[in-house]
Amino acid sequence: MRTSNNKQKEETMKTEYAGIDYGHGQTNCDKATGIRYGVIPQHDVLQAWADSSEPFYGEPHCPKCGNEAVDCDTLKSGDELEEWERAKGECEEHACVNCEYVFGNESAYGDEPISHVIDDGEYKAECGEDGDIFVVKSPYYTRAQFCSPCAPGAAYLRNDCDDGVKAYCFGHDWFDGGKAPYPVHSVETDELIQSAS
């Protein structure tokens, strides 16, 4: 009997308890709107994510010293730049002021992406190696529990909660069957969006 009560208490907390804001309103939220970033496992929207996301290799860095590279177009042309060392067989796209070295994209980025991203004007989201997608901009929100201290201030979209915080989320069309596992609201109008199915 005691086990049953504990289990019921845990289920109640998942749906009625908003959790703790470990970010104190300062992290993982859109400062302009106050809407929190939503976190969802990649496999919940895997096909839509695979179809829409692009690899992100980070910012260009010098292959010699690791410092951030600058775009060659931003450097002054002249005798000084002409004397800099060039990477053999590469386009002249980036340069390192520290090493006085000019190189191309093939040297500026790693072989593997550091994450996958979407930034299409409607959604902005990123998924790293851990497999969780952070939705940082969307035309939709839901109410969900705060995440654990691992993502302070963000909300875990799998735990929708009537008393939870507003968090950016994916719309119904991102899910197999055309229905999100949480209520979807319009950021613009606060209207509840019904699924097409």
The answer on pLDDT for 137 being more than 50 is yes
> Does residue 52 sit within a domain?
yes
Residue 159, domain member (yes or no): yes
pLDDT tens digits, residue range 38-77? Answer: 999 999 999 999 999 999 999 999 999 999 999 888 876 6
Check whether residue 49 and residue 97 sit in a common domain.
Answer: no
Residue 10 in domain: no
Average pLDDT along the chain: 87
* Any domain includes 137: yes
pLDDT, tens digit (0-9, with 9 covering 90-100), for 115-127: 999 999 999 999 9
Do 74 and 150 reside in the same domain of the chain? Answer: no
Which residues on neighbouring strands pair with residue 95, listed in sequence order? 70, 102
Give me the pLDDT at residue 75, please: 75
Domain of residue 148, residue span = 18-56+115-193
CA angle at 172 for the pair 169 and 175, rounded to the nearest 5°: 95
In-domain check, residue 5: no
Same domain, 123 and 173: yes
Name the domain count of the chain.
2
- Both 82 and 150 in one domain: the answer is no
Q: Which residues contact 77 (CB under 8 A, 6 or more apart)?
A: none
List pLDDT tens digits, range 88-117: 999 889 999 899 999 999 999 988 899 999
Amino acid at 22: Y
Asked if 93 and 171 sit in the same domain, the reply is no
Query: Which pair of tokens denotes residue 174?
Result: 């991102």
